[in-house]
């Protein structure tokens, strides 16, 4: 075996570089003269990379430098050729090995520069130490694969698109420079106010946010493309495309959560912050504490059962009121929509999801069974079993039999 073939064998089990080099030689795409040039470039590049990450005087550093160089070349070649060996072999024949290695390193630097979150902050350039650390991690024995590189780059570009849209929205809505926020939260709030039929083109405070949520809950409310196009009429094409994709995502992912009352308040940017207690919030909280008698479970059960059967809402239940409520359950069942509306109008935002879940998955199912009179073998004509359940579960004003 000649020297060239011996050296080629050293690349066995390497990544795309080895495949392209072997293919190029076998198909006479890479000439013997070019192969010698590649070997020379490999020796030069190995020393350069060893010095960049450590020292060229230590054998382990030199051995790792060969791995790094072939990994960088492989990454660039596979991306440039899109996995086609003939295109990759032609690139090796036409260009120097060092240029391939540099292109691979530049790809990793480009990936490193991508954002990792969507905070609206002016990013400073990465330091040379940070870049070196990233290159060290991504080009070593556990080199990033080309598919993973593509996925990470696409993810970073998606975040950058959100950030670009976020800065555009912040400028349009005159958000102060001192107000650092998350682009995704700002985008969600804007999509909400565009969807709301009468939403003003301004960032909502807590009271306005609650009104927007209430406005888009009815299923009859639908997306108005003309309203969207008017809002983004002065946006650059790239911003408009991102905004269009974000509205699609909002309609398919976030709007159902709003209508099910399972959305997360922290998804949105609210003028003044989500912890701001507006007059409206304070009034809701104060009234709820009065109604629920400081979140008493028995009182909450009483309220929900009366609401679900369209009875007068009270914190305590008289026996005659219990009789009417039980009869309503047996005649018509529970009306959960009334409970949902009650929670929306009378329960503080931070408790709504929890209490909606309590009604739907705990109280409703249990009460439907306990208050029914469906078993002919054990009739409850005088509601004794129903009253016993209510005495145990609710805030009642009568006493059971001793």
Q: Of 121-135, 265-279, 363-377, where does mean pLDDT reach its minimum? A: 265-279
| pLDDT number for residue 401 | 58
CA–CA separation, 2 vs 17, rounded Å? 21
φ and ψ at residue 358, rounded to 5 degrees: -60, -45
Radius of gyration of the chain measured on its C-alpha atoms: 33
- 117 Cβ partners below 8 Å, 6+ apart? 159, 182
| Residue 402 pLDDT grade (very low, low, confident, very high; cuts 50, 70, 90) | very low
Question: Angle 59-81/32-53 helices, nearest 10 degrees?
Answer: 120
Q: What is the pLDDT of residues 144-157, one digit of tens each?
A: 899 999 999 999 99
Longest dimension (CA), the chain: 106
* Sign (positive or negative) of CA dihedral 348, 351, 355, 356: positive
Q: Of 42-56, 159-173, 241-255, 388-402, where does mean pLDDT reach its minimum? A: 42-56
Query: Averaged over 351-372, what is the pLDDT?
Result: 92
| pLDDT number for residue 57 | 54
| pLDDT number for residue 285 | 81
Residue 335 pLDDT > 80: yes
Q: Where are the alpha helices (DSSP H) in 140-182?
A: 146-172
Residue 10 pLDDT > 50: no
Q: Where are the alpha helices (DSSP H) in 122-236?
A: 128-139, 146-172, 183-195, 206-216, 225-231
Question: In the structure encoding, which two tokens stand for residue 9, read together?
Answer: 């064998």
Structural domain spans, the chain: 3-144, 172-267, 279-393
Q: What is the pLDDT of residues 164-217, one digit of tens each?
A: 999 999 999 988 665 668 899 999 999 999 999 887 788 888 888 888 998 999
């Amino acid at each position: 075996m000649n020297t060239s073939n011996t050296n080629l064998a050293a690349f066995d089990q390497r990544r795309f570089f080895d495949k392209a080099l072997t293919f190029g030689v076998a198909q006479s795409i890479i000439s013997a003269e070019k192969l010698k040039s590649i070997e020379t470039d490999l020796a030069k590049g190995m020393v350069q990379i060893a010095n960049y990450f450590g020292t060229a005087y230590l054998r382990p550093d030199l051995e790792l430098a060969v791995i790094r160089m072939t990994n960088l070349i492989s990454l660039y070649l596979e991306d440039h050729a899109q996995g086609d060996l003939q295109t990759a072999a032609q690139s090796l024949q036409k260009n120097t090995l060092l240029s391939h290695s540099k292109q691979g390193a530049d790809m990793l630097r480009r990936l490193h520069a991508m954002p990792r979150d969507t905070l609206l902050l002016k990013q400073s350039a990465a330091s040379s130490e940070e870049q070196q650390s990233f290159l060290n991690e991504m080009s070593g024995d556990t080199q990033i694969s080309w598919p993973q590189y593509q996925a990470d780059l696409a993810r970073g570009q998606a975040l950058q698109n959100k950030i670009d849209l976020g800065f555009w929205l912040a400028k349009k809505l005159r958000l102060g420079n001192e107000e650092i926020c998350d682009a995704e939260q700002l985008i969600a709030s804007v999509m909400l106010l565009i969807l709301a039929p009468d939403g003003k083109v301004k960032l909502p405070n807590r009271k306005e946010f609650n009104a927007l949520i209430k406005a888009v809950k009815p299923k009859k409310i639908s997306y108005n493309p003309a309203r969207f196009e008017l809002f983004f009429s002065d946006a650059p094409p790239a911003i408009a495309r991102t905004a269009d994709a974000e509205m699609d995502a909002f309609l398919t992912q976030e709007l159902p959560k709003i209508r099910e009352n399972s959305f997360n308040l922290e998804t949105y940017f609210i003028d003044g912050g989500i912890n701001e207690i507006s007059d409206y919030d304070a009034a809701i909280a104060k009234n709820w504490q009065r109604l629920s008698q400081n979140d008493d479970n028995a009182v909450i059960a009483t309220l929900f059962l009366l609401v679900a059967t369209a009875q007068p809402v009270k914190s305590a239940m008289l026996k005659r009121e219990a009789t009417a409520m039980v009869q309503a359950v047996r005649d018509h069942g529970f009306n959960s929509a009334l409970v949902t509306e009650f929670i929306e109008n009378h329960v503080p935002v931070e408790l709504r999801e929890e209490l909606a879940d309590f009604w739907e998955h705990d109280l409703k199912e249990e009460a439907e069974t306990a208050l029914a009179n469906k078993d002919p073998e054990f009739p409850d004509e005088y509601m004794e079993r129903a009253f016993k359940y209510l005495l145990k579960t609710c805030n009642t004003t009568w006493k059971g039999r001793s």
